[in-house]
Amino acid sequence: MPRSKSKRSRYTPPPPKKAPPSPLWVPVVMATMFVMAVVVIVGNYLGALPGDGENSYLVLGLVLMIGGFLLATNYR
């Protein structure tokens, strides 16, 4: 007797594999970038950095902060 279509087994794809955890350097570099960004920005406003409050220091702090956020989004 032929099997009905409803009782045939259907293909079920295997479950997706979990991504491996991030290496140790990712959170270390992420935290370092955040801390350095704060140090550069605060140091610029306090006048502790060479030059008279140049905008390049603010750009550097912003770049460090963006880099930290990019690493934070990839951290598992």
> pLDDT (tens digit, 9 = 90+) per residue, 4-53?
656 567 888 999 998 899 999 999 999 999 999 999 999 999 989 898 77
Query: Which residue type is seen at 44?
Result: N
Measured distance CA(74)–CA(35) in Å, rounded: 18
The pTM of the full predicted model, rounded to 2 decimals, is 0.74
Q: What is the pLDDT of residue 52?
A: 79
Report the run of H or E that residue 31 belongs to, with start and end: helix 25-46
Separation of alpha carbons 64 and 27, rounded Å: 14
Q: Which residues 6+ apart lie within 8 Å of 34 measured at CB?
A: 64, 65, 68
